[in-house]
Protein backbone atom coordinates (compact mmCIF):
# COMPACT_ATOMS: atom_id res chain seq x y z
CA UNK A 1 0.00 0.00 0.00
CA UNK A 2 1.34 3.43 -0.86
CA UNK A 3 2.62 5.18 2.23
CA UNK A 4 0.75 8.40 1.55
CA UNK A 5 -2.59 6.54 1.58
CA UNK A 6 -3.82 5.31 4.94
CA UNK A 7 -5.29 1.85 5.26
CA UNK A 8 -8.55 3.45 6.38
CA UNK A 9 -8.75 5.57 3.22
CA UNK A 10 -7.99 2.54 1.06
CA UNK A 11 -10.61 0.47 2.93
CA UNK A 12 -13.17 3.22 2.44
CA UNK A 13 -12.42 3.37 -1.29
CA UNK A 14 -12.62 -0.42 -1.65
CA UNK A 15 -15.91 -0.68 0.22
CA UNK A 16 -17.51 2.21 -1.66
CA UNK A 17 -16.39 0.70 -4.99
CA UNK A 18 -17.91 -2.67 -4.09
CA UNK A 19 -21.09 -1.00 -2.87
CA UNK A 20 -21.38 1.08 -6.05
CA UNK A 21 -21.62 -2.14 -8.08
CA UNK A 22 -24.12 -3.68 -5.65
CA UNK A 23 -21.71 -6.06 -3.97
CA UNK A 24 -23.52 -8.32 -1.51
CA UNK A 25 -22.66 -8.92 2.15
CA UNK A 26 -19.58 -6.70 2.14
CA UNK A 27 -17.38 -7.34 5.19
CA UNK A 28 -14.02 -6.02 6.35
CA UNK A 29 -12.03 -8.07 8.85
CA UNK A 30 -8.95 -6.85 10.70
CA UNK A 31 -6.65 -9.90 10.78
CA UNK A 32 -3.46 -8.04 11.74
CA UNK A 33 -3.08 -9.85 15.07
CA UNK A 34 -3.82 -13.29 13.57
CA UNK A 35 -1.48 -13.57 10.59
CA UNK A 36 1.28 -11.92 8.60
CA UNK A 37 -0.65 -12.43 5.33
CA UNK A 38 -2.31 -9.01 5.53
CA UNK A 39 -3.81 -6.52 7.95
CA UNK A 40 -7.32 -6.65 6.46
CA UNK A 41 -9.50 -8.93 4.37
CA UNK A 42 -12.40 -7.35 2.52
CA UNK A 43 -14.99 -9.90 1.42
CA UNK A 44 -17.90 -9.38 -0.97
CA UNK A 45 -20.09 -11.44 -3.26
CA UNK A 46 -21.74 -11.04 -6.61
CA UNK A 47 -24.79 -12.80 -7.98
CA UNK A 48 -23.06 -13.81 -11.22
CA UNK A 49 -19.53 -14.22 -12.56
CA UNK A 50 -20.14 -11.09 -14.64
CA UNK A 51 -20.89 -9.16 -11.46
CA UNK A 52 -17.84 -10.56 -9.64
CA UNK A 53 -15.66 -9.26 -12.48
CA UNK A 54 -17.43 -5.89 -12.35
CA UNK A 55 -16.85 -5.70 -8.58
CA UNK A 56 -13.14 -6.51 -8.95
CA UNK A 57 -12.82 -4.04 -11.83
CA UNK A 58 -14.45 -1.29 -9.76
CA UNK A 59 -12.04 -1.82 -6.86
CA UNK A 60 -9.01 -1.79 -9.17
CA UNK A 61 -10.24 1.28 -11.04
CA UNK A 62 -11.08 3.36 -7.95
CA UNK A 63 -7.88 2.55 -6.03
CA UNK A 64 -5.81 3.46 -9.08
CA UNK A 65 -7.86 6.58 -9.88
CA UNK A 66 -8.09 7.96 -6.36
CA UNK A 67 -4.81 6.81 -4.83
CA UNK A 68 -2.54 5.54 -7.62
CA UNK A 69 -2.53 2.07 -6.07
CA UNK A 70 -2.40 -1.11 -8.13
CA UNK A 71 -2.67 -4.68 -6.83
CA UNK A 72 0.55 -6.62 -6.44
CA UNK A 73 -1.31 -9.70 -7.68
CA UNK A 74 -4.71 -10.66 -9.07
CA UNK A 75 -5.88 -14.27 -9.00
CA UNK A 76 -9.01 -15.99 -10.28
CA UNK A 77 -10.20 -13.30 -12.67
CA UNK A 78 -10.78 -15.56 -15.68
CA UNK A 79 -13.03 -18.04 -13.84
CA UNK A 80 -14.57 -15.26 -11.70
CA UNK A 81 -15.75 -17.60 -8.93
CA UNK A 82 -13.25 -16.19 -6.43
CA UNK A 83 -11.21 -13.16 -7.45
CA UNK A 84 -8.40 -12.10 -5.14
CA UNK A 85 -6.94 -8.61 -5.37
CA UNK A 86 -3.78 -8.47 -3.28
CA UNK A 87 -2.78 -4.99 -2.13
CA UNK A 88 -0.21 -6.37 0.35
CA UNK A 89 -1.78 -5.16 3.60
CA UNK A 90 -5.36 -5.37 2.29
CA UNK A 91 -6.57 -8.44 0.39
CA UNK A 92 -9.92 -8.18 -1.38
CA UNK A 93 -11.89 -11.40 -1.94
CA UNK A 94 -14.72 -11.11 -4.47
CA UNK A 95 -16.79 -14.27 -4.63
CA UNK A 96 -19.56 -15.68 -6.72
CA UNK A 97 -22.26 -16.12 -4.06
CA UNK A 98 -22.30 -19.95 -3.99
CA UNK A 99 -18.49 -20.07 -3.83
CA UNK A 100 -18.51 -17.66 -0.91
CA UNK A 101 -21.05 -19.79 0.94
CA UNK A 102 -18.89 -22.87 0.37
CA UNK A 103 -15.58 -21.39 1.59
CA UNK A 104 -17.11 -19.24 4.35
CA UNK A 105 -14.07 -17.06 5.02
CA UNK A 106 -15.94 -15.18 7.73
CA UNK A 107 -16.07 -18.36 9.81
CA UNK A 108 -12.45 -19.20 9.07
CA UNK A 109 -11.35 -15.73 10.22
CA UNK A 110 -13.99 -15.28 12.94
CA UNK A 111 -11.28 -14.47 15.50
CA UNK A 112 -10.50 -11.31 13.54
CA UNK A 113 -12.10 -7.98 14.35
CA UNK A 114 -15.02 -7.24 12.03
CA UNK A 115 -14.87 -3.56 11.09
CA UNK A 116 -18.01 -1.42 11.14
CA UNK A 117 -18.31 -0.28 7.52
CA UNK A 118 -21.92 0.90 7.65
CA UNK A 119 -20.99 4.54 7.13
CA UNK A 120 -19.44 3.66 3.73
CA UNK A 121 -22.50 1.78 2.45
CA UNK A 122 -25.45 3.36 0.71
CA UNK A 123 -28.79 2.87 2.38
CA UNK A 124 -31.38 1.23 0.11
Domain ranges of the chain: 7-110
Contacts for 89 with CB less than 8 Å, ≥ 6 apart: 1, 7, 38, 39, 40
**Distance set, CA 123 to CA 74, 80, 103, 118, 119 (Å):** 30, 27, 28, 9, 9
**CATH superfamily placement of domain 7-110:** Beta Polymerase, domain 2 (3.30.460.10)
1-35 residue pLDDT tens: 544 679 999 999 999 999 999 999 999 999 999 99
The model's pTM? 0.93
36-95 residue pLDDT tens: 999 999 999 999 999 999 999 999 999 999 999 999 999 999 999 999 999 999 999 999
- Cα 28 to the center of its chain, rounded Å: 7
Amino acid sequence: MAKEVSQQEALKTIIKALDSKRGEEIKAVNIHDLTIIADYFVIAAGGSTTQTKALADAVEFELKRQHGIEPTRVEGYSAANWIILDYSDIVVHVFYKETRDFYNLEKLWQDGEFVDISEYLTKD
